[in-house]
């Protein structure tokens, strides 16, 4: 048995969970699906004194959609997103990104809230939250607050969550039916964390020019980021091959790209550009140049 | 009750004996289930916790170090060594079992977190002297393994894959079985086995068997 010693509690209410977290003042961890936390414990990368299992707290696994967008309860599992009857229409980018999350056994247990709280720089859900300007609803002793995704991810595996706070919901803004979008990522083996990934979406005006482009990237820096230079270059343009190459060339502009055991920084920069090209082509419904050559 | 817990020593023979007697009828008291523990005050971390699992149709009351994974509970405490420990970090799929009918990784699941749930392992698919589960038979027929280490995980995952409706074509099967590695690379034969057993596995599910 590898994990360091910990105690385990399974409160049946949110208030109970918050009370336990508060009482341990940073020395307790929330567990739900455990698909990120269990490996962390097994590798002894974290050693909380208490695990607070929120998996059986009622009313945290809702998926709802309305005029204000899509709301996902913290305990929504990846399989719930994939198997939802209407989410593929209501938020196709979310559903497409979810299909890249690990393997199906893991998608059967892993949760939306867990992925956000774990904040792996290469994880899909934090990338979607950043790309879509999601709002993350958390509850703690002081009550409920809403954290914009841009303020939520502080660094690798670090978030704006206070020690006594639990994520209860993530809200994604409304998704117009005609929106252009694509999600692309690359990993050496299917199901591994991505070496890099991009999420792209935009709308078109009456002349076929891009309005309000959103481009998010995962795996390249210590936290998911928006590619501001590429977004600025894409705005107002018609998306043709020349525009795609010009925008993709700016993919890594101004980014502090991470180098680690998996890939040198230059490799990640090149990969990011290629992935952005592919995503832009697919979003514009243009043929993939690499396949048509 | 506490006497039962104190006398529970970690030798494999005892585990096997416990398993055998539990199969005949639950022996260890039902008092220390999750409900009682859920809101409990801080306790000694070295004190075991009670976990009740329904494993292959039999209720098992276990007294475990709280860190015990579902995989270790099955292998070390119940003597069910069909589920394999490959990587112990969620990459290989050799520990795949069904929890309430859904395939999960035993190595990334705390036994305490599935307290009260129904677990199906490779041992629960059939009994000695009985016909093999159609998926097991298909793996034999299609030569879908060489060394066999990944096979119980592959078979449990394959059953989950069929139940989910993720075995519609070869590409689907490859995609949704990607969490199960086979170092002998029997993949083409695994795909063939799943196609062979798909209809029979579906009709078993329809008739409420596993």
Q: What is the pLDDT of residues A132-178, one digit of tens each?
A: 999 999 999 999 999 999 999 999 999 999 999 999 999 999 999 99
| pLDDT value at B19 more than 70 | no
CATH classification code of A58-172: 3.30.465.10
Nearest to A137 by CA among A129, A80, A26: A129
Model confidence at B2, pLDDT cuts 50, 70, 90, reads very low
Answer whether B99's CB lies under 8 Å from B118's CB: yes
Is residue B37's pLDDT more than 50? no
**Does ipTM surpass 0.85 in this model?**
yes
CB contact under 8 A, B68 and A8: no
Q: Note whether B173 and B161 are within 8 A (CB).
A: yes
Give how far A238 is from chain B: nearest CA, Å.
35
Contacts of B109 in chain A (CB under 8 A): 34, 38, 109
* pLDDT at position B113 over 90: yes
CB B52 within 8 A of CB B115: yes
- Alpha-carbon radius of gyration of chain B: 18
Interface contact flag, A105 B160, Cβ < 8 Å: yes
Q: In what order do the strands lie in the sheet with A143-148?
A: A63-66, A69-73, A166-172, A135-140, A143-148
Nearest to A105 among B67, B104, B112 (CB): B104
Which residue is associated with the tokens 């890939």? A263
Q: What is the pLDDT of residues B138-189, one digit of tens each?
A: 999 999 999 999 999 999 999 999 999 999 999 999 999 999 999 999 999 9
Chain B residues within 8 A of A109 when measuring between CB atoms = 104-105, 108-109
Provide residues of B within 8 Å CB-CB of chain A: 34, 37-40, 42-43, 45-46, 49, 65-69, 72, 88-90, 93, 96, 102-105, 107-110, 112-113, 115, 157, 160-161, 164, 166, 175-176, 178-180
Query: Tens of pLDDT along A166-217?
Result: 999 999 999 999 999 999 999 998 889 999 999 999 999 999 999 999 999 9
Confidence bin at B208 (pLDDT 50/70/90): low
- Cβ neighbours of B37 in A, within 8 Å: 9-10
Let me know: does A185 contact A272? Beta carbons within 8 Å.
no
Q: Which fold has domain A7-53?
A: 3.30.43
Mean pLDDT of B55-70: 97
In 3D space, the residue among B104, B93, B106 whose CA is nearest the CA of residue B182 turns out to be: B93
Does the pLDDT of residue B31 top 50, yes or no? no
| Whole-prediction pTM | 0.90
Could you give phi then psi for residue B39, rounded to 5 degrees? -110, 20
Distance to chain A for B39, nearest Cα, Å: 5
High-pLDDT (> 90) share of chain A, %: 92
- According to CATH, the topology of domain B47-124 is Ubiquitin-like (UB roll) (3.10.20)
In this structure, whether the domain defined by B126-210 belongs to CATH 3.40.220.10 is answered with: no
Using the Cα atoms of residue A35, residue A39, residue A40 and residue A44 in order, give the sign of their dihedral: positive
CA-closest candidate to residue A227, choices A174, A276, A279, A289 = A276
The nearest CA of chain B is from the CA of A116 a distance in Å of 18
* Confidence tier at B91 by pLDDT (50, 70, 90): very high
**Cα A293 to Cα A288: distance, rounded to the nearest angstrom:** 9
Query: Would you say the CATH fold of B126-210 matches that of B47-124?
Result: no
The CATH number of A180-285, from 3.30.300.20, 3.30.390.50, 3.90.850.10, 3.30.43.10, is: 3.30.390.50
* Cα–Cα distance measured from residue B137 to residue A19, given in angstroms and rounded to the nearest whole number: 52
Rounded to an integer, what distance in angstroms lies between the CA atom of residue B38 and that of residue A8?
Answer: 9
Please tell me the distance from the alpha carbon of residue A182 to that of residue A282, in angstroms, as a whole number: 6
Residue A48 has pLDDT above 90, yes or no: yes
């Amino acid at each position: 048995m590898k994990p360091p010693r910990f105690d385990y509690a399974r409160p049946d209410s949110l208030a109970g969970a918050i009370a336990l977290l508060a009482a341990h003042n940073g020395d307790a961890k929330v567990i739900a699906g455990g698909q990120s936390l269990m490996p962390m414990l097994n590798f002894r990368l974290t050693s909380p004194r208490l695990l607070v299992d929120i998996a059986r707290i009622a009313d945290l696994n809702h998926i709802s959609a309305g005029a204000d967008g899509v709301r996902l309860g913290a305990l929504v599992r990846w399989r719930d997103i994939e198997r939802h009857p209407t989410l593929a229409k209501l938020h196709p980018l979310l559903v497409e990104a979810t299909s890249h999350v690990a393997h199906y056994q893991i998608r059967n247990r892993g949760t939306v809230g867990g992925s956000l709280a774990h904040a792996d720089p290469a994880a899909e859900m934090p990338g979607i939250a950043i790309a879509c300007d999601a709002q993350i609803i958390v509850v703690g002793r002081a009550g409920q607050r809403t954290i914009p995704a841009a303020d939520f991810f502080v660094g690798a595996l670090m978030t704006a969550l206070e020690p006594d706070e639990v994520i209860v919901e993530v809200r994604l803004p409304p998704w117009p039916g005609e929106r252009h979008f694509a999600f692309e990522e690359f990993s050496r083996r299917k199901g591994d964390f991505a070496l890099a990934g991009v999420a792209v979406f935009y709308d078109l005006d009456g002349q076929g020019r891009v309005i309000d482009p959103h481009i998010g990237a995962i795996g390249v820096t210590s936290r998911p980021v928006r590619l501001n230079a590429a977004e600025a270059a894409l705005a107002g343009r018609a998306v043709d091959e020349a525009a795609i190459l010009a925008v993709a060339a700016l993919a890594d502009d101004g980014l502090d790209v991470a180098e680690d055991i998996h890939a040198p920084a230059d490799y990640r920069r090149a990969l990011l550009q290629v992935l952005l090209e592919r995503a832009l082509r697919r979003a514009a419904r243009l043929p993939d140049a690499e396949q048509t050559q | 009750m506490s006497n039962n817990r104190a006398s529970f020593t970690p030798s494999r023979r005892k585990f096997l004996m416990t398993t055998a007697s539990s199969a005949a009828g639950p022996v260890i008291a039902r008092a220390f289930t999750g409900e009682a523990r859920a809101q409990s005050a801080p306790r000694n971390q070295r004190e075991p916790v009670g976990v009740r699992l329904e494993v292959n149709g039999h209720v098992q009351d276990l007294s475990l170090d709280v860190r015990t994974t579902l995989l270790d509970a099955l292998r070390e405490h119940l003597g069910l060594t069909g589920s394999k420990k490959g990587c112990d970090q969620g990459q290989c799929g050799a520990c795949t079992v069904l929890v309430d009918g859904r395939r999960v990784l035993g190595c990334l699941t705390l036994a305490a977190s599935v307290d009260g749930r129904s677990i199906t392992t490779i041992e629960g698919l059939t009994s000695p002297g009985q016909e093999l589960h159609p998926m097991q038979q298909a793996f034999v027929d299609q030569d879908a393994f060489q060394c066999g280490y990944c096979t119980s995980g592959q078979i449990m995952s394959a059953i989950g894959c069929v139940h989910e409706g993720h075995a519609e074509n070869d590409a689907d099967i490859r995609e949704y079985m990607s969490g199960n590695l086979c170092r002998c690379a029997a993949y083409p034969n695994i795909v063939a086995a799943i196609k062979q057993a798909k209809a029979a596995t579906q009709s078993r599910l329809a008739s409420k068997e596993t």
